[in-house]
Structure 1
C-alpha cells in the first residue's frame, strides 16, 4: 500500500505540470473516440441499381427527399381546379340594357304622338304628317349605342314601335323577367348559346303577336352574355396553398429504406444516396463531428478543474474523476455490444448512477452532475440501435435521470448503508422514466416487453449501488480520499482509538468532544468541512493516552506530577503528545487529514506556563525550545481546531465565566494566534476569523449559561466554607 501511495504521489506531482495534465486529457479523448468510433462510422454498402438487398437497411439520418417532395407538390397543383367567378352585376347590367331599349322605343312613340297632336292643333293635314316606320327606327337607333343597333334587327324595332303600349309593357316585363332569370345562373363561355336558348324558350310561348314575340326573343337572346370568368389570381392562390399544404417528403432517421430481399429500384437507390449510404467510405464528417464533440467535453472539464486550482487535492480529484468516467464509458461500451435491432433497449441495464454516486461521494455534486450529463450524451451515441451516426435521445434521458436520482438521494445521506437504499431509489426513478417515455412516444409494447424493460431498470439501480459499494473502498484506500461516509464511521464511539481515549483518558475524551462542538459550528459558519473538524477533534489528542496523568483534564483526585518535575521535562512530555498522536494514527492507517490535525493543531505555539516557570528558575532557556515543533496549520479546519482547543481549555479554567469574559478571552486567543504567525500557512481570512470568534462565543454562552442555585447547593457551599 505504501508503494502504491508513493506512485500515486508521483502521478499527482506530474499532473501539476501542464504538459502532463494535457496528456491526461489527450488519453481521455482517445478513449472516448475509440469507444464511440464504431457507433459513428458510416456503414459501407456495396449496392447497385436493380440488385437485391442482402439485409434490411435503415436511414442513419433524417433528410428531405426533394425529388419526391417536388413531385408531390406538382400533383397537388394539378389537382387544383381553375377558379371561375360569377359577375353578378352583369345580370343587372343586361336588365338595364333591355330596359333602356324599351324605354327608347316608348320615348320615340311619345315624341311622334306629340308631333301629331301639335299638327292637329295647327289644322295641318295629319295624314300627310304620318311618320314612316323607317324614320321611327332611325330615331330609336339614335338613342341607342352602336353595339345594340348592329345586333337588333330593324323588324324587331318595327314590331316594338308598332305595338300597342299595353302590349309593349307586357313584352318589356316578360323580357326583363326572362333575362334576369337566365343571367342569374352561371353562364360560362361555352354555355352562352344554351343561355340564349333558355331565354328563347321562356319567351316563345307568350300571348303576344308573332312579330312582337319574335322581337322580344331577339332582344332576349341579345341580352344573354357570359357572366362566369376565369380568376387567375384566386387560382394561383389556391395552387400556392396546395403547395404549402404538402409536407416535405422526408427519409426519417431509423426508417427502413429497403427490406432484406427487396429489389433496389431507382426510387430506393435515390433514397440510399440521399441518406449518404452509397458514398460512406469517403465521408469523414461523422469522425470530425465526434472529435469536435469530445473536444467540447474535455475543454469544459479542463476549465472546470483549472478553475479549482492546482493543489494536490484538485489533482487527486481530477485523477479520480478520470478513472470513474473511463470506467463508466467502458461498462457502457461493453453493454452496447449486446444491442441489436431485436434487443435495442439493452441500454436500460447500464448502471448509470454508479459514476454519479461515486463522484458525489468522493468529490462533489457539481462534478457528479457534469459526469452524468456527458455520460448521457455518450450513451445516446453508443446505444444508437445499430444505426450508425444516430442519437438515441431516449437512453440519454434515462441515463441523466438515473444519475441525478442517485446524486439527489445521497445529498444529505452520509452513511455507507444508504448507498443500497439509493440504488433502490434509482430503480424506482428508472421505472417512472421508462413509463413516461413509453407514454410520450405512444408506443405499443407487449406485457412481456414491458416487464423486461422494468427488470432492466431495476437491475440498473441495484447494480449501480453494488458497484459503488464495491469500488468505494478502492478509491478511499488507493487514493487516500476521506469521504463523509468514512468520517461518519470514524466518529463511532466503538472505534478502537476512541474507546482507548474514553477508557484511558476520560478527561481528554470530554475535552475532545467540547472542542469538536466548537470547531464544527465554526467551520460550518465559514464554509469549511464541519464534519472533518468534528471527527478530527475526537482524535486530535490521542497522543495523550500515552501518559494521560500528565495532562490536567485527567488529573482526577491525584497530585499534579509536573509539580515535581523540572520545566524542561514537563515541556517534553506535553509537546510529545502531538507527535505521539500522529504516530499512533499513522500506525492505525488513519486518513492523512486526521493525522494532520493531530500533528498541526498546536502549530509552533509556545508553552507559556513552563517557559515562564523555567525562566523563573534562573536557568538560561530559549523560547524556541518551548515551542511545539509544528508544522503550522495548513488548512482552515486545522486552524479553527487549534483555536477551539485553546479556547475550550482556557474557558474551562475559569470558575464562573460571564459572557463578556468569554468574548474577551476568545478575541485575545485569536489575536494571539494571529500575531504569533500561527495562521500564516492557511487560507483563512480576517473576516472568517471574526465569524469564527462569533461562533465560539455563541456556543460557549450556550454551554456556560447562568443556572439557578438550589438550596442544597447553597448549604453544601456553606459546609465547604
Structure 2
C-alpha cells in the first residue's frame, strides 16, 4: 500500500493533469476580463454614456477620404521661354523676308503674285502655312516706312504678351488684348488687320501643364496624409450625442458592435495561459523543491493558486464601488507568503510574477487596454515584499510583522504610481488610497495565518514554521524521549547536529533533517533499556534473551517510532525519516551471534530491517549520521584519522549494500556529506589537555 502511494506521488499523468488544472483555473478566472464588450446601440439613437475605444485601430475609410482630398492638388505649369523666343524669331524672319522681297523688286515691275511666291520661299514651312495670302499681300503692298512701323508695333506687342505666362486658358484673352491695342493705330485698315492677324498668330501658349511634377506633387500630398487612427481610450461618442453613420463605423472598427463571435481574444488568453503554465513547469523542474517530485505538493500549489487568484478576482469586482483606490485593498501577498512558508523562497518569487500578470488582467475594468500595468506593478511589489520580509526563519510571529512591512511597501508603491501619473488629487482621495494600501498588507497576513493551519493539518505538510514548532523541547514527544530515554535524547541531538550540517552542504533541507533526527528514535521509548545508550548501571538484558528476540526488539523501534509519529499526526516527512533511517541494513551483531549459536547458516534477510530504504536525501543523511554517531561514541580514543576511516567505511558499506538506490544522492554529494560530518566530529572530539590529578591529603584531627 505504501509503495502504491509512493508511486502515485510520481505518476506523470497526475502531474500533467495538475498543470492542466492550473491552466484551466487561470483561463476561467481571466475569461470575463477579455470578453469583448458589445453595445446595444442603433443608428441615430443617443449615447447613454461616454463610449471609448478599447483598442487602437486605423479607420481606413476616413484615411482614404483624407487621401482623396489631399490628391486634389493644383496642376503644376512650367513657363517655357524658348517658345516666346521662337515666336519672336519667326516674326523677325517674316519682316526680314518682306523687306528683302521689296528691296529685290526695287526698279522692277513685278506682280504681287510673284512677290508673294518669293516671300513664301524665304519663310519657314510652318510660317508659310500659318500666314494666308490675305494677310501677306497688304504687308507686301505697304510702304517701307509702314512696314517698319508694323514690324515695330507687332514685335513690341508680341514680346510684351509672350514675356508673360500664356496658357491655353488665357490664350484668347491675350489675343483679344493685342487686337484692342493694335486697333488704335492709324494705319490703313487692310494693313492694320494684317498686322493684327500676324500678331495674334504669333501668340501661342508658353505656359504648359507638367504632368510628371503634377503627379509627383499629388503622390507627396497623399503620402503626407497620416492614417486616421482611433486611439485606445479615445472617446468615440460622448454621452447624449447622436450616433450617426460615421460614429457607427468607428464603433464597428473598435469591435464594440455585436457582429457575431470573435475568437481572437479567447485565443489570445489561451496563449497567455499556456505561456504562464509553461513558465511554471520549467521553473518547477529546475528549482530544488518538493513540488518537482511530489504530486501532493504540486496539488497544494494548485490550491494556493486557486485561492489567490480567486481573492484577486473577487477584489477586482470592487472596482464598481465609487471609492478612490478601492482596488489597492487587494491582499496580493497572501499567495506568495503561503508558498514561502510552506515551500521555499524561489517558488514564492516565481509565483509572485504570475500573480502580477493575472492581476493586470483582472483589474482592467477601468482602463481601455487588456492589462492594467499599474495594478500589476502594485501586486508584484506587494507579493515580493511579502516573501522578503518573512525572513529566513519563517516563525509565525513574523507573519504579522511582515504584513505591516508589506503595508508600508504598498503605500510607497501607491505613492509612486500617483506621482508618476502627475494627477491632481484631493486630501480625501489620497487618504482613501493610503488606507486601502495599508489594509492590503494587514489582510494578507491575516489570510496567511488563517490558511496556514488548513494546509499544514489537511495535508500534513512540513513547513519551516511547523519544523521550528516541532523542534521545541517542550513538545510532548521530545519530552517523552528526554524523560524516558535520556541517552537516546542525547544521541538524537548529536545526530541532528551532524545531519543538519551535512544536508545543508548538499543543498538538502537541513532543518528537516535536524527535526527528523530529533524524532528518529522515538520508538526506543517503548523498550528503553534494551538500547545500550539507556543502560546505566544495569546489566544488558540482551545477554539473557535469544538473538532472534533481541533482533525483533531492536528492529521494531523503527516501525514503532513511525506508528507513534503517525498517531500524533506528525508530518509525513518526519515519519518517513523515522521509518527509513535504517533502510534494510543488516543487524550485524545479533546476526553473527545467532550464527554462532545455530547449527546451520541463518539467512541475512532474517536479521535485516524491514525498510523501506531511504527515499529522500534527508532520510539517507540521518541514517548515515545515526550510524556514525553511535560508532564514534563507542570508540575508546577517537582521533581524526580513526574517525575519518570509520566514517568512510560506514558510507561505503551502505553504498555497496544499496541503501542509497532509491534516493537521488550522487557520489559527489556522499563525499560532501562525509567531509561535513568529519569536520563536525573533529570539532566535537578535538584534543584536550590532560589535567594532573590533585592528590588530596588526609588531614588528621
**Cα distance in structure 1, aligned partners of 2:524 and 2:146:** 147
Distance 1:504 1:220, change over 3 A: farther
Q: Deviations over 1:440-496 (max 9, x none)?
A: 767665554344334333322332222112211221111101012322443456656
Aligned 8 A contact 1:666 1:697 in 2: no
The aligned residue for residue 689 of structure 1 is 667
The aligned residue for residue 56 of structure 1 is 49
Aligned 8 A contact 1:562 1:570 in 2: no
Query: So what's the TM-score if we normalise by structure 1?
Result: 0.71
**Cα distance in structure 1, aligned partners of 2:694 and 2:142:** 153
The aligned residue for residue 639 of structure 2 is 657
Aligned 8 A contact 1:427 1:459 in 2: yes
**Cα distance in structure 2, aligned partners of 1:708 and 1:284:** 77
> What does 1:517-528 align with in structure 2 at a 5 Å threshold?
517-528=497-508
Q: Deviations over 1:211-265 (max 9, x none)?
A: 99x9799669935633142537634753674476243353856846452x55555
The aligned residue for residue 95 of structure 1 is 85
**Cα distance in structure 1, aligned partners of 2:14 and 2:679:** 52
> What does 1:225-624 align with in structure 2 at a 5 Å threshold?
225-229=205-209, 231=211, 234-235=214-215, 238=218, 241-242=221-222, 245-250=225-230, 252=232, 255=235, 257=237, 259=239, 264-268=243-247, 279=258, 283=261, 296=274, 314-340=294-320, 342-343=322-323, 346-363=326-343, 368=348, 372=352, 375-376=355-356, 379-380=359-360, 382-385=362-365, 392=372, 394-400=374-380, 402-407=382-387, 412=392, 414-424=394-404, 426-427=406-407, 430-431=410-411, 434=414, 445-446=425-426, 448-491=428-471, 511-542=491-522, 561-562=539-540, 565-566=543-544, 568=547, 575=555, 577-579=557-559, 581-582=561-562, 585-586=565-566, 588-612=568-592, 622=602
**Cα distance in structure 2, aligned partners of 1:134 and 1:703:** 144
- Equivalent position to 1:669, from 640, 650, 657: 650
Instruction: Report the Cα offset of residue 350 of structure 1.
Output: 1.9
SS in 1 for 2:206: coil
**Cα distance in structure 2, aligned partners of 1:454 and 1:550:** 66
The alignment covers a number of residue pairs equal to: 681
Aligned 8 A contact 1:525 1:692 in 2: no
Q: Deviations over 1:330-380 (max 9, x none)?
A: 333433443328458643322222123323433456765675566556545
Instruction: Report the Cα offset of residue 536 of structure 1.
Output: 1.9
The aligned residue for residue 678 of structure 1 is 659
Instruction: Answer yes or no: is 1:632 the counterpart of 2:626.
Output: no
Distance 1:268 1:219, change over 3 A: closer
**Cα distance in structure 2, aligned partners of 1:331 and 1:708:** 57
The aligned residue for residue 65 of structure 2 is 74
Distance 1:446 1:310, change over 3 A: closer
Q: Deviations over 1:673-709 (max 9, x none)?
A: 23334334x2235xx1343124312541465389998
SS in 2 for 1:460: helix
Query: So what's the TM-score if we normalise by structure 2?
Result: 0.73
Q: Deviations over 1:36-76 (max 9, x none)?
A: 676567778665555555x426468548685xx52564255
Deviates more, 1:504-513 or 1:350-359: 504-513
**Cα distance in structure 2, aligned partners of 1:708 and 1:22:** 53
Instruction: Report the Cα offset of residue 91 of structure 1.
Output: 1.1
Distance 1:172 1:706, change over 3 A: farther
Deviates more, 1:515-524 or 1:301-310: 301-310
The aligned residue for residue 169 of structure 2 is 190
**Cα distance in structure 2, aligned partners of 1:292 and 1:11:** 34
Q: Deviations over 1:549-586 (max 9, x none)?
A: 8766678xx65743994474876665565456445545
**Cα distance in structure 2, aligned partners of 1:234 and 1:493:** 97
Distance 1:561 1:102, change over 3 A: farther
* Unmatched tracts of structure 1, length 5 or more: 1-5, 117-125
The aligned residue for residue 644 of structure 1 is 625
* Unmatched tracts of structure 2, length 5 or more: 186-190, 696-701
**Cα distance in structure 1, aligned partners of 2:178 and 2:205:** 11
**Cα distance in structure 2, aligned partners of 1:136 and 1:436:** 101
Aligned 8 A contact 2:581 2:614 in 1: yes
Q: Deviations over 1:140-187 (max 9, x none)?
A: 86353514872696499879995899999999997898578x34xx55
Instruction: Report the Cα offset of residue 532 of structure 1.
Output: 1.6
Aligned 8 A contact 2:407 2:441 in 1: yes
The aligned residue for residue 122 of structure 2 is 142
**Cα distance in structure 2, aligned partners of 1:533 and 1:160:** 135
Aligned 8 A contact 2:530 2:542 in 1: no
Q: Deviations over 1:84-129 (max 9, x none)?
A: 33424x114422552465478669979999x99xxxxxxxxx9559
**Cα distance in structure 1, aligned partners of 2:281 and 2:685:** 56
